[in-house]
């Protein structure tokens, strides 16, 4: 059994978003990936996007960190 946390928060400025990314990065070494009994994996990750949905435009991924992949 694992304990999973999912967070999807939007911020008005990059500094606040970066603070959350830094916090997640500080816990990255303690996080694990989930391997099911059939050998499949669910990779733990955290990412930051530039969201422009309020402008009618798509999101752009700025950074993605996957546990165990650096």
Q: For position 35, what pLDDT does the model report?
A: 87
Q: Which of 19, 5, 69 is nearest to 48 (CA)?
A: 19
Q: For position 69, what pLDDT does the model report?
A: 66
Specify whether the CB–CB gap between 32 and 62 falls below 8 A: no
9-64 pLDDT tens trace: 999 999 999 999 999 999 999 999 998 888 888 999 999 999 999 999 999 999 99
Specify whether the CB–CB gap between 6 and 34 falls below 8 A: no
Q: For position 59, what pLDDT does the model report?
A: 96
């Amino acid at each position: 059994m694992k304990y999973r946390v999912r967070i999807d928060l939007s911020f008005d400025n990059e500094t606040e978003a970066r603070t959350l990314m830094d916090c997640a990065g500080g816990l990255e070494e303690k996080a694990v990936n989930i391997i099911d009994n059939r050998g499949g994996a669910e990779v733990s990750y955290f990412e930051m996007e530039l969201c422009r949905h309020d402008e009618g435009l798509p999101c752009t991924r700025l950074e993605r960190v996957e546990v165990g992949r650096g």
